[in-house]
Structure 1
Amino acid sequence: MTDHTEGTEGRTTSAVRPYVITGGRSGTGGEPLAWETLVMATEAAYPSALQPEHVSILAQCQGLLSVAEVAAHLGQPSSVVQVLLTDLLTWGLIVIRPPIPTAERADVTMLRKVLHGLESRL
């Protein structure tokens, strides 16, 4: 008789398929969260019927974590984490802080005028 458990001690990923975790959903139904979006659990009490992955996210997000960090901690693809985070956001169990948009590039002509003005005073 062979032992089917040998070689599984080092396994770090879940044996549950991602489509099972998300209930067959592959998208968030809206714009996905950016990798840099910060996530934090709220103080709201959550139902005991949550999936283990939801509970794991809530436990990890007691402070601010990015979407990328949540995915790394869960060991799940970003698409799965996006669906789970959208669930938690819809239920009011997390709050998000979107990334700060990159600053628009300054007008080069204005910068040249400032530079010439400074040079003329020196």
Structure 2
Amino acid sequence: MRDPDSAEAFVRPFVVTAGRTIPLVDGLRIETLVQARPAALSAPLRFEERTVVQLCQAPHSVAEIGTALRVPVGVAKVIVSDLAAAGHVTVRAAHDLSTAAIERIRDLVRAL
């Protein structure tokens, strides 16, 4: 039986994004907030996309999504942009973030 935390269970980021490194939606930043539409819960989505939709029933930053998926922020941006282009999530700039929110995002980025 394989340990799910072993190197064998690791999926390379380029597999998750089909080799793409540039998001379809321009301007996504680590602090960009993502919120999924409730209807997206029933959409036929891949594993990572489904995880983002479930997580983002409440707004989460791109950095938080990357941490939850255990992928680099660039990969999270590609996944979020695909979902946004398909209309499954909305993205918005995080204006007037509190110091606590900025520190939380910083810590999440460091954890990657």
State the Cα deviation string for residues 9-45 of structure 1 (Å, max 9, x = none): 5449952111111011011145341111111111224
Which of 26, 38, 43 pairs up with 1:47? 43
Q: Give the TM-score of the pair, scaled to structure 2.
A: 0.73
- What's 2:10 paired with? 15
Q: CA deviation at 1:47?
A: 2.8
Which structure has the highest helix share of the two? 2
Give distance in 2, aligned partners of 1:82 and 1:101. Answer: 21
Give distance in 2, aligned partners of 1:19 and 1:68. Answer: 18
Which of 76, 80, 89 pairs up with 1:81? 76
* Residues 20 and 29 of structure 1: CA distance in aligned 2, closer, same or farther (over 3 Å): same
Q: RMSD of aligned C-alpha atoms?
A: 2.5
- What's 1:64 paired with? 59
Number of residue equivalences: 96
Q: Does the 8 Å contact 1:37/1:67 carry over to 2? A: yes
Give distance in 1, aligned partners of 2:77 and 2:8. Answer: 18
Q: CA deviation at 1:51?
A: 1.1
Q: Give the TM-score of the pair, scaled to structure 1.
A: 0.67
Q: Percent identity?
A: 32
Q: Determine whether 1:27 maps to 2:22.
A: yes
Q: Does the 8 Å contact 1:32/1:82 carry over to 2? A: no
The higher radius of gyration belongs to 1
Query: Please, which runs of 5 or more residues in structure 1 have no aligned partner?
Result: 103-122
* Residues 13 and 94 of structure 1: CA distance in aligned 2, closer, same or farther (over 3 Å): farther
